[in-house]
């Protein structure tokens, strides 16, 4: 039963989410007074002829965790990748609307995309360490951005690995290949690699989906620590995870933002019927 509902919804992708109010209704009153680090305004996104995001306006407050939830295919990753212009490398894609980082439009003509991606880091669903040593992995971003001299490198690498709670496990084998680490360690290495360049925002696309519960626990703990220094956006299809790690949650459906609110509020007292249906497991 629940499966049919989902497949119907997926086949009708592109239409408005049933029961969804216009996006503007999703604005979060509790954001008042918070400093906004990133913001999208009426964002539309197209893969060739296919529109994947519809009119998304969303604010991401700084130094806290915002979670994106929603059924698979609803556009969470697409939206996340709009925030660091990662979609630029996919041919035939088109963006309409604005994405602001500290008030500046990242799709504007003055944007240095290399600098943008340094400031908005990303951790991927499948850990993707480079086939290089652990040290070189963490040093990579520092090196290409010219952020540290050769002499400073060991110190910066250590700092990043400590922040990613990986230092004690790898300090004796920094020169070993990163490919020899366990899945959970590889993902934390990717986090270390991302935080090494001191980004302002850290985007994480289902960072735990390939990890066992223990490794997942470690990464969640890490996210909790990192939010003190970084603005974190995490995509997850695990609602318990969203509830555990985030302060704010945005619920997406069929390419639209249905609801965005304090996590606690969204999970205990959702404003939309469709949100309630989703979080109570009636579909998806």
Ligand X SMILES: Nc1ncnc2c1ncn2[C@@H]1O[C@H](COP(=O)(O)OP(=O)(O)O)[C@@H](O)[C@H]1O
Which of 44, 64, 93, 128 lies at the binding interface for other proteins (CB under 8 A)?
A: 128
Rule CB under 6 A: say whether 75 interacts with ligand X: yes
Q: Give min distance, CB of 238 to other proteins, in A.
A: 21
Q: Give min distance, CB of 104 to other proteins, in A.
A: 17
Rule CB under 6 A: say whether 78 interacts with ligand X: yes
Our CB check for ligand X shows the closer of 52 and 142 to be 52
- Binding at 73: pick from ligand X, Mg ion, other proteins, none (beta carbon under 5-8 Å per type): ligand X
Dihedral sign computed on CA atoms, order 6, 12, 17, 18: negative
Site for other proteins in 34-93 (CB under 8 A): 84, 86, 89, 91
Rule CB under 8 A: say whether 141 interacts with other proteins: yes
Binding string, 20-59, against ligand X, x = CB under 6 A? ---------------------------x--x-x-------
Question: How far, in Å, CA of 89 to CA of 22, rounded?
Answer: 30
Site for ligand X in 254-283 (CB under 6 A): none
Residues that bind other proteins (CB under 8 A): 84, 86, 89, 91, 114-115, 117-118, 121-122, 124, 126, 128-132, 140-141, 144-145, 176-177, 179-180, 190, 193-194, 197
Residues that bind ligand X (CB under 6 A): 13, 47, 50, 52, 70, 72-78, 90
């Amino acid at each position: 039963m629940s499966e049919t509902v989902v497949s119907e919804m997926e086949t009708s992708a592109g239409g408005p989410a049933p029961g969804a109010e216009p996006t503007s209704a999703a604005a979060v009153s509790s954001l008042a007074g918070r400093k906004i680090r990133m913001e999208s305004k009426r964002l539309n996104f197209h893969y060739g002829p296919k529109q994947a995001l519809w009119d998304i306006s969303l604010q991401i407050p700084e130094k806290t965790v915002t979670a994106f939830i929603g059924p698979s295919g609803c556009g969470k990753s697409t939206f996340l990748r709009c925030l660091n212009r990662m979609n630029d490398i996919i041919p035939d894609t088109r963006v309409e609307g604005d994405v602001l980082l500290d008030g500046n439009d990242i799709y504007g003509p003055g944007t240095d995309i290399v600098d943008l991606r340094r400031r908005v880091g990303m951790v991927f669903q499948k850990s993707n360490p480079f086939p290089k040593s652990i040290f070189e992995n963490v040093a990579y971003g520092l090196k290409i951005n010219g952020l540290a001299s050769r002499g400073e490198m060991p110190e910066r690498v250590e700092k990043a690995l400590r922040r990613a709670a990986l230092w004690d496990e790898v300090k004796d084998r920094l020169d070993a290949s990163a490919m020899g680490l366990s899945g959970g360690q590889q993902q934390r290495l990717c986090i270390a690699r991302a935080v090494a360049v001191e980004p302002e925002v850290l985007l994480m696309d289902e960072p735990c989906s390939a990890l066992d519960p223990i490794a997942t626990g470690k990464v969640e703990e890490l996210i909790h620590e990192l939010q003190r220094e970084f603005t974190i956006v995490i995509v997850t299809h695990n609602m318990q995870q969203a509830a555990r790690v985030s302060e704010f949650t945005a619920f997406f459906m069929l390419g639209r933002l249905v609801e965005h609110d304090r996590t606690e509020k969204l999970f205990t007292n959702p404003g939309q019927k469709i949100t309630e249906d989703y979080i109570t497991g009636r579909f998806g």
